[in-house]
């Protein structure tokens, strides 16, 4: 404990620690500030290209942008149960008719996931809760 000339008291507990240097992966993370649903936006590697990914713990859908699928030349297949999405598009419903298998890596972690293919601009890949179980 230190008593300063102006009467202020400073203790070791009150001193702020200097921030530690962030890794490249930590620099790219964006955390939700409030709320119960965790949403993380991060860069990842797809076929040696840097892309953006959103992990949304409140979503039940894995989605790859149609632009990503086209640019990387990923093979698509007909969706076994086509459905309509409304939340990705302000202009109305989107019919989901295709799926693609996307292999990605974040640092040393790599995975392969089946994604529905739709036109979206929020990111290249959106992973919902189900990606953990694919």
Rounded CA-CA distance 20/22 in Å is: 6
Question: Above 70 in pLDDT, residue 14?
Answer: no
71-93 pLDDT per residue, tens? 889 999 999 999 988 765 566 77
Residues 6+ apart with CB under 8 A from 96: 79, 82, 83, 84, 85, 116, 117, 118
Residue 56 has pLDDT above 90, yes or no: no
Residue 70 has pLDDT above 90, yes or no: yes
Q: State the maximum Cα–Cα separation within the chain, in Å, rounded to a whole number.
A: 76
Average pLDDT of the residues in 50-60: 81
């Amino acid at each position: 404990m230190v008593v300063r000339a102006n009467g202020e008291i400073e203790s070791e507990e009150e001193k702020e620690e200097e921030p530690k240097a962030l890794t490249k992966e930590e620099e790219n993370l964006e955390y939700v500030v409030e709320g119960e649903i965790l949403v993380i936006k991060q860069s990842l590697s797809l076929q040696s290209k840097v892309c953006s990914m959103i992990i949304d713990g409140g979503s039940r859908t894995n989605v790859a942008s149609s632009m990503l699928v086209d640019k990387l030349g990923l093979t698509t297949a007909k969706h076994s149960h086509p459905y309509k999405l409304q939340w990705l598009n302000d202009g109305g419903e989107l019919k989901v008719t295709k799926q693609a298998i996307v292999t990605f890596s974040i640092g040393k972690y790599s995975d392969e996931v089946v994604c529905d293919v739709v036109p979206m601009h929020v990111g290249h890949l959106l992973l919902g809760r189900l990606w953990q179980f694919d």
